[in-house]
């Protein structure tokens, strides 16, 4: 569509619209990438995947009890991080705004979520929207914005915006189960190398598009999820899976340190969801939890044998559960994580926390 409004005038109007949001939020926009820990409804638009959460009892504690596609009883960790940054909640799913008539100026100008449950850092992980595709969608979104506000304005806004990335858990799960939990040291090393190489490719692509403020969330101890514990004869955490996860997280920390010295103007925080969850698991009562091993929603042993759906039951004391379903945290856990990742000490966010990244 060709607009009659002169380009300059249009730029001024658009820049003003952006400025309004910048005045009430701490950054102009938030862009989100990753898996089900971040998805707010992109997968609702996909068919042929069971990585979905757009039915009850998901969303039972969300406003109006809406199952939005979040893998939670309410808000997820990204929502809480966005709230700390002055937004109402996570930005909307890309697939909900992409074909709207006023797509980018009215909706999505304060950010978009490209995250897709089931995806990983590797394109070979899962059958949903790969990280590669998420970044292509982001590039399309950015060029659409640029066509409305000029490339320079779009780049300026992007450089001040925060990119939240929460991925890696599905790759770790896939590798662990493909090797029956018996991978050799060489196989594990090779897995880490492929993961780091591909993560580097993604981060460089985002940097080349103009992103400067990166907020990564590391992989939680997935060996403690109900779906993992149910494979242990005593329902304990799978230590091998946690060790694999921690090894990956450690390499991501080194990678980011390396990249920050190569990429001029790049700043980052890594939110340590591994430590957040481990600390809850090791002292449940200390943080007011009664159950850190079973799913609130689901059925069978540990609520982990049948996934959460309208066919299963769910607990009433959701604030005393670490896990909502057999993989994902409750809103209560996400709120705790959001608090620590945003403003917490280096145990939970390093080398700086998200608040410091936002204010830098």
Ligand X SMILES: *[C@@H]1O[C@H](CO)[C@@H](O)[C@H](O)[C@H]1NC(C)=O
What residues are annotated to the active site? Answer: 36, 325, 328
Alpha carbons 30 and 161: distance in angstroms, whole number: 6
User: x/- contact string, 151-190, with ligand X (CB under 6 A)?
Assistant: -----------------------------xxx--------
Q: Which of residues 235-254 bind ligand X (CB under 6 A)?
A: 251, 254
Of 30, 85, 95, 112, the one binding ligand X (CB under 6 A) is 95
CB of 239 to ligand X, least distance (A): 14
Site for ligand X in 250-309 (CB under 6 A): 251, 254-255, 258, 309
Both tokens of 258, joined, read 């390396």
Closest approach of Cβ 214 to ligand X, in Å?
A: 15
Could you say whether residue 48 binds ligand X (CB under 6 A)?
Answer: no
Q: Which neighbouring-strand residues pair with 314?
A: 297
Q: Which residue, 255 or 302, is less far from ligand X as judged by CB?
A: 255
Do strands 111-113 and 30-34 pair parallel, antiparallel, or not at all (unpaired)? parallel
φ and ψ of 181, to 5 deg: 75, 10
Residue 139 three-state SS: helix
Q: Which residues contact 308 (CB under 8 A, 6 or more apart)?
A: 57, 58, 295, 297, 298, 314, 324, 325, 326
Residue with smaller CB distance to ligand X, 147 or 190:
190
Query: Binding to ligand X by residue 317, rule CB under 6 A?
Result: no
- Helix (H, G, I), strand (E, B), or coil: what is residue 299? strand
Per-residue binding letters, 187-226, with ligand X (x by CB under 6 A)? ---------xxx--x-------------------------
Q: Do 266 and 304 form a contact (C-beta atoms < 8 A)?
A: no
Q: How far is the CB of 156 from ligand X (least distance, A)?
A: 28
DSSP element (H, E) containing 174 = helix 169-178
Residue 305 burial class via C-beta count within 10 angstroms: exposed 0-12, middle 13-18, buried 19 and up: middle
Q: Which position among 15, 83, 98, 263 is part of the footprint of ligand X (CB under 6 A)?
A: 98
Contact 343, 356 (CB under 8 A): no
Q: Which of these segments, 116-124, 156-164, 212-220, 342-350, binds ligand X (CB under 6 A)?
A: 116-124
| From 117-125, 219-227, 264-272, 323-331, span contacting ligand X (CB under 6 A) | 117-125
Quick one: which of 122, 165, 297, 322 contacts ligand X (CB under 6 A)? 122
φ, ψ (nearest 5 deg) of residue 313: -90, 170
Residue linked to tokens 């980011």: 256
- Contacts with ligand X by CB under 6 A: the residue count is 20
Strand order in the sheet with 111-113: 111-113, 30-34, 162-166, 213-217, 267-271, 349-350
Smallest gap from Cβ 333 to ligand X, in A, equals 23
Tell me: does residue 124 bind ligand X (CB under 6 A): yes
Q: Which residues contact 325 (CB under 8 A, 6 or more apart)?
A: 58, 71, 226, 295, 296, 297, 298, 303, 307, 308
The closest residue (CB) to ligand X is 180
Nearer of residues 119 and 275 to ligand X, judged by Cβ: 119
Whose tokens are 């060790």? That residue is 243
Judged by beta carbon, residue 246 or residue 336, the one nearer ligand X is: 246
Question: What are the residues binding ligand X (CB under 6 A)?
Answer: 45, 95, 98-99, 122-124, 180-182, 196-198, 201, 251, 254-255, 258, 309, 311
């Amino acid at each position: 569509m060709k607009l009659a409004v002169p380009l300059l005038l249009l730029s001024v109007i658009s820049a003003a619209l952006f400025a309004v949001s910048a005045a009430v939020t701490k950054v102009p926009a938030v862009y989100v990438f990753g898996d089900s820990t971040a998805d707010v409804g992109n997968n609702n638009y996909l068919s042929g995947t069971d990585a979905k959460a757009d039915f009850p009892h998901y969303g039972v504690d969300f406003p109006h009890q809406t199952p939005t596609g979040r893998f939670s009883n309410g808000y997820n960790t990204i929502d809480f991080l966005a709230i700390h940054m002055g937004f109402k909640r996570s930005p909307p799913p890309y697939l909900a705004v992409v074909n709207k008539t006023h797509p980018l100026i009215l909706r999505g100008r304060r950010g978009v979520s490209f995250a897709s449950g089931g995806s990983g850092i590797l394109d070979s992980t899962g059958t949903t929207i790969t990280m590669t595709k998420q970044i292509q969608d982001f590039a399309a979104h950015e060029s659409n914005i640029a066509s409305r506000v000029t490339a320079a304005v779009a780049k300026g806004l992007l450089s001040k915006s925060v990119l939240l990335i929460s991925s890696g858990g599905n790759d770790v799960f896939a590798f662990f189960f493909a090797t029956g939990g018996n991978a050799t040291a060489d196989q594990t090393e090779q897995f880490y190398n492929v993961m780091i190489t591909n993560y580097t490719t993604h981060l460089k692509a985002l940097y080349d598009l103009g992103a400067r403020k990166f907020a990564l969330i590391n992989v939680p101890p997935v060996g403690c999820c109900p779906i993992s514990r149910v494979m242990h004869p005593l329902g304990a955490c799978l230590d091998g899976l946690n060790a694999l996860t921690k090894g990956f997280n450690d390499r991501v920390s080194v990678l980011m340190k390396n990249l920050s010295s190569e990429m001029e103007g790049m700043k980052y925080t890594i939110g340590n969801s591994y430590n957040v969850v481990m600390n809850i698991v090791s002292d449940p009562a200390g943080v007011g939890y009664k159950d850190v091993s079973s799913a609130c929603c689901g059925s069978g042993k540990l609520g982990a044998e049948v996934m959460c759906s309208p066919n299963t039951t769910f607990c009433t004391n959701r604030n005393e559960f670490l896990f909502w379903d057999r993989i994902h945290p409750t809103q209560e856990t996400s709120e705790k994580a959001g608090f620590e990742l945003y403003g917490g000490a280096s145990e939970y966010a390093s080398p700086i926390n998200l608040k410091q990244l936002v204010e830098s």
